Structure 1
Amino acid sequence: MARHHVISTTACDVFFKLVAHQKKSLGARFDSMIVTFSADGQPVLGATLRNATSGCELHRLAGQPDECWCCGYDEQLEFVSQNKVPLAHADYRLTLSNGETWTGTTDAKGRTGRIASKREEQITMVEFFPQEDSLPCCSAAPAPVAPTAIILELQDVKTTDKDIDTSVKQVKIDSIARPLTQGEIDMAWMIFEDAVDYSKVKIHKRPYLWLFQPKNTAMTPNGEMYFHESRFLDDFSNADNTERHWFIHEMVHVWQYQLKYPVAMRGAFRIGLDYKYVLSSQKKLADYNMEAQGDLLADYYALKYLKDSSAMRQEQYANDQAVYEEVLNDFFINRKSEKNLPGGYIERTPLVDIP
């Protein structure tokens, strides 16, 4: 049933007063008492309604949205990144200027449920909560930890009396991003030379998948790097050797992306993508998967240019620089060749059989 644009608070106010009286009279017993029934006939206990601040909120918490006719203002929010990636299937809590909170899970488009109020109310804050089974699609740092809730203050977002039941307000989540520093370009040049357009690379101080990207991971699905705020650096060329190794690993994904390798698609299907690699003079760079290429090139960088085998992910190859250079021979001859990409020497249909 569509909500009518009618302001009549009598029924909601009476409901709120009745529940408030029951709560006061029963004390702690109120929580286990059946107060009402939801629209689908399920009993609603007092514990579900205890923190409601109005009759309208009582009806909502009780699963009786059509019983409230006094909400003449509403809005639906659509949360996306600056690149218009939806924050899909994320648990959220919205806080209104009247103190009410609305909870739910965004849909595939990053949209909330409809938020209703008696009068115009600012939607002042949103909190997003990670789901227990959420996993990142790709990462490059050791010992990842669980993602944490994201809390954002909202500006100029409010319920409205225009286009009741249909309006949608898109909210873009800001992402602080910077270009590569000259020091970072110099680092990457040692491996890629002019095979990368460095002017197109940005480093973001925001996870790409927000709640689904743990703190100690980075993602580089679209030629740009996305770090959690806690791992973002102003200049990786001034960092310790472990961080420099990480930067080169992510630059490998930039190089892959700029050569048209489907980094995001391949990262989404991680089965068989092992970061570990077996170094062998019988292999070429193209014999290794997307993530193994990242570690192999980053390990070579740590060994040859940093002179620091402790920064390598596979330190057992610390005495095998010559073997690395055999594996990378075709890459050194032509760093711009797609044949250096994973399976690049195999004739294949894109996105059907991706090594």
Structure 2
Amino acid sequence: MSEKQDYRHLNDREIAFLKTYFEDTIDYENVKIHNRPYLPGGLQSDHTAMAPNGHLYMPQDLYKEDYTAQDVSLSMRSTFLHEMVHVWQFKNNVLNPIVEATKESMKHKFNYNAAYDYVLEDGKDLVNYGMEQQASIVQDYFILQQTGTVPHHLTENGVKTRDEATNLYESVLKNFLKDPSYPQHCKRDITGKAYLKTKKQGFGA
């Protein structure tokens, strides 16, 4: 990142990491990681990342020169992946992040943290979840793969083992893991958000 710029581009190691999830569905060379908030006047806290327009806005506390570096925590790397899910959503027309963020704020009466909670349902597709839920599901699946720790979303509803948790995540992520470009061919609701009609069986998470 030069002195005249407040952003950098993804490096080769970060791109290689991201391709394991998004393959070539993101134009990695054009993604910018800004070392500043997106919102002005202190409206975005130092601990909140945003990716509303296909680029990352990482305040000082969250900004790293390389999110794959050994000294970067798993938590920080998973946050980076979470934000890149929003880039994937934007680039593949899964949804409009600004429209969806507004909807989520109103839905949860401006308690935006509630937008991240999700219930995994066997057979329910990733795109049928909310914007933050989608990113959190991919993020938690990554952490499960790396640590074997079952996320609290699942343990609170009786899921105890790594294998059981993995099966649930991979049921929801089936189409995403097979071809992350699939939302481009999905139906749309009135806001333009992609969705799939699927047979689903409820399972708490």
TM-score normalised according to structure 1 size: 0.45
Select the residue among 90, 97, 107 that pairs with 1:263.
Answer: 97
The match for 1:332 is: 177
In the TM superposition, residue 232 of structure 1 has moved relative to its aligned partner by 0.9
Deviations 1:133-158 (A, max 9, x none): xxxxxxxxxxxxxxxxxxxxxxxxxx
Question: Aligned equivalents of 1:338 and 1:242: distance in 2?
Answer: 27
In the TM superposition, residue 241 of structure 1 has moved relative to its aligned partner by 0.4
Select the residue among 268, 290, 297 that pairs with 2:131.
Answer: 290
- Where in structure 1 are there 5+ consecutive unaligned residues? 1-173
- 8 Å contact from structure 1 (residues 309, 315) kept in 2: no
TM-score normalised according to structure 2 size: 0.76
Question: Aligned equivalents of 2:166 and 2:137: distance in 1?
Answer: 11
* 3-state SS in 2 of match to 1:218: coil
1:199 aligns to 2:29 (yes or no): yes
Distance 1:199 1:219, change over 3 A: same
Question: Aligned equivalents of 2:18 and 2:98: distance in 1?
Answer: 21
Question: Aligned equivalents of 1:228 and 1:192: distance in 2?
Answer: 24
Distance 1:308 1:224, change over 3 A: farther
Aligned CA-pair RMSD: 2.5
Question: Aligned equivalents of 1:234 and 1:247: distance in 2?
Answer: 12
In the TM superposition, residue 190 of structure 1 has moved relative to its aligned partner by 1.6
Q: Count residues in correspondence.
A: 175
The match for 1:307 is: 147
In the TM superposition, residue 223 of structure 1 has moved relative to its aligned partner by 0.5
Structure 1 or 2, whichever has the larger Rg, is: 1
- Where in structure 2 are there 5+ consecutive unaligned residues? 109-114, 196-205
1:188 aligns to 2:18 (yes or no): yes
Question: Aligned equivalents of 2:153 and 2:179: distance in 1?
Answer: 26
The match for 2:38 is: 208
In the TM superposition, residue 208 of structure 1 has moved relative to its aligned partner by 0.4
Distance 1:315 1:282, change over 3 A: closer
Percent of aligned pairs with the same residue? 31
Amino acid at match of 2:135: G
* 3-state SS in 2 of match to 1:321: helix
In the TM superposition, residue 348 of structure 1 has moved relative to its aligned partner by 2.5
* 3-state SS in 2 of match to 1:195: coil
1:1-355 matches, within 5 Å, as 176-210=6-40, 211-238=42-69, 239-260=72-93, 261-269=95-103, 270-272=105-107, 274-304=115-145, 306-309=146-149, 314=153, 316=155, 319=162, 320-338=165-183, 344-345=186-187, 347-350=188-191
* 3-state SS in 2 of match to 1:203: strand
The match for 1:167 is: none
Deviations 1:169-216 (A, max 9, x none): xxxxx7510001222112211211112111121110010003210110
Question: Aligned equivalents of 2:99 and 2:5: distance in 1?
Answer: 22
- 8 Å contact from structure 1 (residues 286, 339) kept in 2: no
- 8 Å contact from structure 1 (residues 241, 308) kept in 2: no
* 3-state SS in 2 of match to 1:230: coil
